Amino acid sequence: MTSTPGTIARFLTLGGAHVVLTVAYDPQPNPCDHTPVYAWQCAGCTIRRRYSSHTDYADARDTANDHAGTCRSTPQPDTDH
């Protein structure tokens, strides 16, 4: 299994796919002030969410976990799961 760059958490859907939570660092507006930007993608149904720099880790984690708790998608045949 390869890892998506920036992966900080994974959640398992009801169908066995992973929801992968990642973090990137937004250099805007000040390159010296790197703000964490969270995003997640479901490897089953392929839904993605990208948050603004104002969303904290707990909110991103909770929505990723909530999606995993309701999504019944199985892993896509050609994706990392």
User: Could you list the residues that contact Zn ion (CB under 5 A)?
Assistant: 42, 44-45, 71, 73
Q: Which is nearer to Zn ion, 22 or 44 (CB)?
A: 44
CB closer to Zn ion, 22 vs 73: 73
Q: How far is the CB of 62 from Zn ion (least distance, A)?
A: 15
* Separation CA 10–CA 20 (nearest Å): 5
Closest to Zn ion by CB, 34 or 50: 50
The nearest distance, CB 69 to Zn ion, in angstroms, is 10
Residue 60 phi, psi dihedral angles, 5° rounding: -65, -45
Q: At a CB cut-off of 8 Å and minimum separation 6, what does 69 contact?
A: 11, 14
Rounded CA-CA distance 20/40 in Å is 5
DSSP lists the bridge partners of residue 51 as: none
In whole angstroms, how close is the CB of 13 to Zn ion at the nearest point? 5
